[in-house]
Structure 1
């Protein structure tokens, strides 16, 4: 052992540089080992119904629509998730939810995910109605159909259009799949009128109170229509004021074992997401390239280190001390010399 130690000390620089080269070559090969850890996968559902066009939210002092506020929040949430997390974006309109794609890793597909969020638009909706309660069954079915398990984070104002009553309220007693879901409330308590927009995204009026009232007759209990809204434009005194349905969403989440949080900021959303259980626990490769590269760097730094570090530190301190004293002494002599001639 002593012989090998003496040889290492004698040829230390060569040995360290050789090890650094080996570590770098190993890092290039990107080795990994199987490691069992938590897998976090999220299905982020965005409400694109027309009530999300209500302009009652604020970003940096500017009044914006709920949709724009939701997009900004989703951008921040995705940007704060760690690498290895997988995300799928879903759209909610009418009484159903559709997944844009299967869950994908956020760091490798960051630009694609953010681009999807950036281009969310109410014109992508396939229905003018908004049936949040009905959509839960479809959401659970979509999640079961994904390529892997995922936790649901639902961004919505909770608006039901037309309004619910005893005949069109879906019974959720047998609903399965809502455990640990998160519903993020988007909108204000004061509310505002819902603009009625053209295909070119131009305001042509506002939704009326009649738009949210149930039509009489069999339409109110029809499974195919589930209520149809009046399509007329409201007058100045007949505009429907849309507010975030916080109490309704709290009641809804209690029924299915989910959690409701107010979407005041992305930090609250991220905290709630971190409190969720992982989507699954599985064996995944743990990369070792960073470790080998770090060891290579330490070996290179080691070639510049002194063979006797403590002795070298003491010598350096003595040199610095001597230099400081000599400078102070020289300066004091110069000042005394100037004072003498004055």
Structure 2
């Protein structure tokens, strides 16, 4: 099969009573379109179209799947459909609203509210480029993730996992709501089957157990990703990915440079969430919410003059190294 990505549906295509306006985004597992209903109301429609399993020529409607990949394609299709059914039962401001889902063109479509705004990743990049001591204020970080955790708790209560929480999948709407988008149920099902080797995780935000097929996933897996997102909101960059951390863990060193900038408690929360051992992390969203809301815990370590000089020196050396490999970093992370 060609490695050329499947072509999106052409503008003005009608599916399930909706008219496609344009493609909004595309990833390894699907395409998201802006679409209008018969009354002209805008919606986002996500189409199941895994690029490693299916192809589609320009102007065509039906995906083309090689016979030897058909069973895997259908397995992901079933998971995508079940994900839509489960999400449709959840009504929470911090969880993307699935309003409808249907089968057509030998695939499945998920109809969601169209959100206007930007992703947390967009905001991190903008804030980082301003080169301020803090990417975000601590109060902003706590408020944002308290909102996300309220939605994630509901998701877990419905026996679902997100499995791809990252700044690019946290959407900040123009009316100041934080919404989790792009759940990864189909991605996870496909990763467990046969020799399907396409990466199923986002480096830096995926917990160590997501790299092993024999590991048990649970709320602690999403909680690791939450910790990584908080880290990115503090540092402006993703943490090292799990395999790198297992080989040589620099998380504590990186966070130590933020002492005096962010409270000891917030730094400890990140370390707790991102423990390499799943059993050492918060085992439920409720446990994490309780710790994150502790107003009395916001102590700041008093750094000595020597410590400040050393950290400043380390920062200059680190910035020099970052500049040398900036093109590579920006090409692979936080594009």
> TM above 0.5, one fold?
no
Give the TM-score of the pair, scaled to structure 2.
0.23
Q: Which has the higher strand share?
A: 1
Give the TM-score of the pair, scaled to structure 1.
0.22
Query: Which protein has greater RCO, CA pairs closer than 8 Å, 6+ apart?
Result: 1
